[in-house]
Each structure stands twice: as structure tokens, then as C-alpha cells.
Amino acid sequence: MNIYKLSQKEITGYDTFDSMVVIAENEENARKIHPNKNVTIIDGKWQHNEHKGERWYEELPEDEKKQFIHEAGEWVSYKNRDKIKVEIIGISIKKESQIITASYNAG
């Protein structure tokens, strides 16, 4: 596994992430990690999962799913993740992808 620094200048201002350091198998997988641990990928968008487990979205009734159909706006959109700058900065002995640290601009 590699250690990557990811940074972005697409989404700026208060309540946004500007960078993070992650452990991932490759650059493509690093780009699929959102700096907010409470965000996951649903229908090709970043979605807040509110600590409800991996299958929380699928288990919701259809009428309740609508409230979660919005892109988490604190990081580059999932479809624009190619705009994230990725730099390899080291190698890890860890076997799982994870966030090491993230930089958040609180407002």
C-alpha cells in the first residue's frame, strides 16, 4: 500500500477540505476516498452516511431516500475527482485503505 497526499483547489471557502493524506493501493483508489469519514459513494455521488452502516441507504424506504440525493459539497465532486492532485509520499505496511489526516477549513 502507498501513502498519498491529495489536494484540491476546486471547492474552497469555509467548511471545505483542501487536502488529506491517505493509505491506498493505487492513485485511482486514493481518489475514491473522501476526507470526511461519514461520506460514501452512492449512485456516483458522495453521500453522507450518518454512521448507519454499509447498507443503510439500500434499506431505506424509497420516499426517504430523496433526502440523501445531494452531493456532499465539502470536497471535489465524485465525477470531478480527476481534478484532485495526487502525490505519492511514501509506502505503508498497512493492508487497508484509510485516511491518515485531513485539512478542514471550518467556518
Q: What is the pLDDT of residue 74?
A: 87
pLDDT digits (tens, 9 = 90+) for 58-75: 666 776 665 554 455 789
pLDDT digits (tens, 9 = 90+) for 22-68: 999 999 999 999 998 878 776 777 777 654 545 555 666 776 665 55
Q: What is the span of the domain harbouring residue 67? A: 2-105
> Which residues touch 76 (CB under 8 Å, ≥6 apart)?
8, 10, 11, 83, 84
Can you tell me the distance from the alpha carbon of 48 to that of 50, in angstroms, rounded to the nearest whole number?
Answer: 6
Our count of domains for the chain comes to 1
